[in-house]
Amino acid sequence: MMGNWKVTAWLSSPLAGEPPMLDAILEWELSARLGYKHHNKLTRDIPLSELQKPPIPVSQRTINDVDVYCCSSPIIPVPDSEFVERLSKRIDTSEVSLMLAPENRKSLLVASGPYKMRYVPERIRLVPCVCWFIRGDRKGINKLLKSIYAIGKRRNVGYGIVNKWEFEDMGDNDYSIFALRQGKKVLMRPVHCGYALDHVTGYKKTYGAPCTPYWHPDNYMEIATPC
């Protein structure tokens, strides 16, 4: 049954990087379950017309001639703490080489490739939850989210672990794309720039993808994003 919902991911560990779009999470999970990722290699070089999009249980609307899911951008509270961690990797070849006989020693390329040394900064925020407004089928969405145990970046090292998913019924209030604030219509998710934004506030213009897959260059265009 379609309805308007506020979906909340309660976190038990800090969030690394930027919070993801919920429609992208649902597409990623459903595509894995349907086997799209097993028999097709998805890259930026594959034309968008050849990509098979999974049928997630979320409504769609056409905004400025582009179909988008009725799902808002992620909303997070003011972080209790914010800091920078660094992802580091270093192979001390001068020490490792002592373990080998001189005739077996070889030169390793450490400027690029798998042995490249790294010291990459990562934004970390201590937030209790991440929220989205979405219009869709709660039962179908919940089935997919049950398998999502972490969100954000660096999930493999324990960041962004989801303690539980929570749904709140918003009744007739659909805040997935637009919402009213102090009598003004504000934007809630990225959309293609155009006439539909003539009386909308609370956004900035940039260049990116207004619809899934957000990483594909064929979707890049001038868009409006909430600010």
- Asked if residue 114 has pLDDT above 90, the reply is no
| Residue 212 falls inside a structural domain | no
- Rounded Cα distance between 176 and 174, Å, is 6
DSSP 8-state assignment for residue 152: S
Q: What is the pLDDT of residues 115-153, one digit of tens each?
A: 788 888 999 999 999 999 999 999 999 999 999 999 999
213: preceding bond cis by omega (within 30 degrees): yes
131 and 116, same domain (yes or no)? no
- Asked whether residue 223 is assigned to any structural domain, the reply reads no
pLDDT score recorded for residue 19: 95
Tens digits of residue pLDDT in 163-205: 999 999 999 999 999 998 888 899 999 999 988 888 889 899 9
Domain housing 98: 83-120
Number of domains within the chain: 2
SS3 23: helix
- Residue 100 and residue 73 in one domain: no
Long-range contacts made by residues 110-115, C-beta under 8 angstroms, separation at least 24? 115/91
pLDDT at 39: 65
In a domain, 203, yes or no: no
Positive/negative CA dihedral, 41, 46, 50, 56: positive
Q: Has residue 55 been placed in a domain?
A: yes
Q: Is 133 part of any domain?
A: yes
223: three-class secondary structure by DSSP: strand
Query: Same domain for 13 and 95?
Result: no
Top-confidence residue, 169 or 50: 169
Q: In the predicted model, what is the mean pLDDT of residues 109-118?
A: 80
Same domain, 73 and 87: no
CA dihedral over 146, 150, 155, 157, signed as positive or negative: negative
Asked if 40 and 139 sit in the same domain, the reply is yes
Same domain, 36 and 94: no
For 194: left if phi > 0, alpha if psi spans -120 to 50, otherwise beta; the answer is left
Residue 220 maps to a domain: no
What is the rounded CA–CA span in Å between residue 98 and residue 68?
A: 58
* 34 and 108 together in one domain: no
Domain-located, residue 111: yes
* pTM, rounded to two decimals: 0.85
Let me know: does 7 contact 58? Beta carbons within 8 Å. no
How far apart are alpha carbons 197 and 199 in whole angstroms? 6
**72/159 same-domain check:** yes
Share of the chain above pLDDT 90, in %: 63
Is 22 in the same domain as 116?
A: no
User: What digits encode the pLDDT tens for the residues 60-109?
Assistant: 999 988 999 999 999 999 999 999 998 888 777 777 777 888 888 777 77
Residue 23 has pLDDT above 90, yes or no: yes
Domain identity same for 110 and 160: no
DSSP class of residue 17?
Answer: S
Q: What is the DSSP letter of 189?
A: S
68 and 136 part of one domain: yes
Whether 222 is in a domain gets the answer no
Q: And the tokens for 144?
A: 């997919």
Domain match, 88 and 23 both:
no
The verdict on whether omega for the bond into residue 79 sits within 30 degrees of 0, i.e. cis, is no
